[in-house]
Chains A and B, each alone.
Chain A
């Protein structure tokens, strides 16, 4: 069965990698392989002191193992080429299936790159003698299996949790925290490099070697010294871990195959369904109807919540962290709200993609395109304005420099309006399909390849700068001519340019939807 699963996975990979996606996969795979070769070279480097070499290798392999744990969160879930659901009706035990899935999981670009990186151990082993080389080969196999299995078990477990509505809200926060983790990671790189090379911290080296990711290199070097106990213990330890993880995964697979995932929000809380008598603050008519639908969808759809809550958390927390860690060099805190708004905008710029093919309804309704665009803009502003305005009112005071108030208060309405325009522009001009809503994993990100994402980011930033331009201009003039009145006038200018940007770009989105609606639907259909 193992052979069948591997062939099936290879065939599915080959069938799914076509056209534009092929380029993205190729570039991503190339980077992964370069990282792998780089790691192997660094590990194989003769740094003189073998102890340093052990620490360095253990550290790098720990990073690769962590990559298996956190990478899927960033890229949107672990590899789902083969899904256990497809095997639900076959007479195969879950342990046998887990073994087969393990073999298939070892096939692919990421495991290949990891295997290449682990080959640094073999290079070291060769230098230490033939026995050490054999030990190294064993260690490579065991560590690869361990990293892949650990990642799979963790995500299978997370997936089980994320299937519940509550669990998904936990997941939203988790995704935000992973985003935040980049900051401590950067700090770690800056401080740990010297610690490693000069062996400044014996505790740190001990921890690196005690982690399973460090066991392989310990064994290889022990083989070089003919210290057989230290060869056998780590290898046996890795083998035991692998053997223990397989049944754990089997259990989680069994749970996944026999339980039905609720698509999310099985019931609407309370009895508040639309009866004719219910009053609403939204305008009556098509625009209000779209806004009401959007607000409900933002509230009820876990994936939409991810796109809004996690950038807000990251956007508000990141400036705080950088300011604290750099001892207040810039007033980053004061502009936290704007930063968060920009991040939200980038994440949310695929509104039609989130809704899948539901766009057809707008297309068959006469004249609904305008209402669809304006209603979505309205709902967006209702959602993000309170946070942005509260941040603009509070954060400058917190930052200890009230002098930035006119700047922040002028930029906030400009960027708010700009964001309402940019989100719709991106959604109509650069939509991409997102996996069906019914599978319910909020981390299923859809195929938005890296380079396309970077381009979107660039366009979005430029457009937001355009919206903010007039405010920046008048505030600069105010500062240069020493006329505070002008900087306060910037607040009015900000409101005006926000309104103009939202209307103008909304109009562009509306015309695009009218002119190319069926083509947009065709793009979303490819999901």
Chain B
């Protein structure tokens, strides 16, 4: 089977259980120096779900997602993509997932189309397929007007979009997106939402992290709240928010106190 073709999951054989969740994290731990960034994270992303990962700054979202896709080696625990262990059978696991990391570099001295061509060929797609998919992605994401601009000169929103295009290029079954909507303009954000919703409707699973509760509430059917390196709530959206808004649930769960009411009297002129 050529990479990039629609994957018939059971054909993936041993380990790829037909009913395994799209992404299963069990007991993931990571400490940097003395700081525990991620502490026993358990997470199950069902097939065909649109999964939102929310949490305060520094809660361990990026660290968990990095360990889930093979970018950061966990101290303990495992990550399975459709039942395939990311750290024991990386080649098979990585062919099933498309990744958009946050804040990492790209091959900066390529144009958008060159970047997609490079990414596709690196994945072993044939030239004609890559060219056709790249043209479609650049068109849909409205990056084709910046045909001669190098990625290093892209704006933050354009970088997100070209990163998303690179993640979609090989037609993965699972998308792991770290802050995909950050710095993206409203029109492009709507485009991206539509693309992702179509992806889920056709059977794919999406995991995205975000700070924006309203967005997660609108888009996702499942949600997990992560705080201080632990998953404090996880499940279908309605079950997690239990009748109130996700934002209120979030503030309750994270134990935060909404500040801004006291002090700062000098600010009023």
Contact = CB atoms under 8 A, between A and B. Distances in A.
Interface of A: 262-268, 271, 273-276, 284-286, 288-290, 292-293, 296-297, 300-301, 355-358, 360-368, 371-372, 436-438, 518-519, 521-522, 525
Contacts of A372: 122
A445 to B, nearest CB: 18
Contacts of B94: 364-366
A438 B73 CA distance: 28
A143 to B, nearest CB: 42
A364 B69 contact: yes
Contact of A289 (B69, B101, B117): B117
Nearest to B91: A366
A296 B73 contact: no
Contact of B122 (A296, A357, A365): A365
B122 A286 contact: yes
A386 B138 CA distance: 37
Interface string B47-88: 000000000000000000000011111000000000000000
B104 A360 contact: yes
Contact of A358 (B92, B93, B105, B117): B105
Nearest to B96: A366
Given A262-B153, A265-B150, A276-B127, A367 B91 contact: yes
B26 interface: no
Contacts of A301: 108-109
A286 B94 CA distance: 16
A368 B122 contact: yes
Contact of A286 (B107, B124, B148): B124
Nearest to B67: A518
Contact of A268 (B95, B106, B111, B122): B111
Place the interface of chain B in its size category.
35 or more
B113 A273 contact: yes
B117 A360 contact: no
Given A273-B114, A276-B127, A285-B121, A358 B147 contact: no
A289 B110 CA distance: 12
B97 interface: yes
A295 to B, nearest CB: 10
Contact of A355 (B72, B105, B131): B105
Nearest to A299: B109
Contacts of B122: 286, 289-290, 361-362, 365, 368, 371-372
A301 B107 CA distance: 11
B99 A300 contact: no
Contacts of A365: 94, 119, 122-123
Contacts of B130: 276
A301 B118 CA distance: 17
A268 B150 contact: yes
Contacts of A285: 121, 124
Contact of A360 (B71, B93, B97): B71
Given A289-B117, A290-B122, A438 B152 contact: yes
B134 to A, nearest CB: 8
A355 B109 CA distance: 9
A453 to B, nearest CB: 24
Contacts of A361: 106-107, 119, 122, 166
9 smallest CB-CB distances across A and B, nearest first, come from A276-B131, A289-B121, A356-B105, A300-B109, A357-B104, A366-B94, A366-B91, A358-B105, A297-B109
B128 interface: yes
A300 to B, nearest CB: 4
Given A519-B73, A522-B72, A366 B90 contact: yes
Contact of B121 (A286, A364, A525): A286
Contacts of B73: 518-519
A355 B107 contact: yes
A265 B111 contact: no
Contacts of B114: 273-274, 293, 296
Contact of A266 (B108, B153, B166): B153
B149 interface: yes
Contacts of B128: 276
Contacts of B106: 358, 361
Given A273-B113, A364-B71, A365-B94, A284 B127 contact: yes
Contacts, number: 133
Chain A, interface SS category: helix
Contacts of A289: 117-118, 121-122
Contacts of B105: 355-358, 436-437
B157 interface: no
A296 B110 contact: yes
B46 interface: no
Contact of A293 (B93, B118, B148): B118
B231 to A, nearest CB: 22
A265 B91 contact: no
B160 to A, nearest CB: 15
A364 B97 contact: yes
Contact of A274 (B3, B107, B117): B117
A168 to B, nearest CB: 13
Contact of A267 (B92, B97, B123, B149): B149
A435 B24 CA distance: 36
A262 B127 CA distance: 32
Contacts of B131: 274-276
Given A274-B113, A290-B122, 14 more contacts: A263-B153, A268-B111, A268-B149, A273-B147, A286-B122, A293-B114, A357-B103, A357-B104, A360-B71, A366-B91, A366-B95, A437-B108, A518-B72, A525-B104
Most chain A CB inside 10 Å of its own CB: which residue of B73, B122, B127: B122
Contact of B104 (A262, A273, A358, A371): A358
Contacts of B108: 297, 301, 355-356, 358, 437-438
A297 B71 CA distance: 23
A517 to B, nearest CB: 8
B244 to A, nearest CB: 37
A355 B110 CA distance: 12
Nearest to B126: A284
A372 B101 CA distance: 19
B107 A293 contact: yes
Nearest to A269: B148
Contacts of B123: 286, 365-366, 368
B148 A296 contact: no
A525 B103 CA distance: 10
A515 to B, nearest CB: 10
Contacts of A267: 148-150
27 contacts: A263-B150, A264-B152, A267-B150, A273-B148, A274-B117, A284-B121, A286-B123, A289-B118, A293-B114, A296-B109, A296-B110, A296-B114, A301-B109, A357-B103, A364-B69, A364-B94, A365-B119, A365-B122, A365-B123, A366-B3, A372-B122, A436-B105, A437-B108, A437-B152, A518-B72, A521-B72, A522-B72
A41 B160 CA distance: 60
A266 B150 contact: yes
A79 B28 CA distance: 42
Contacts of A519: 73
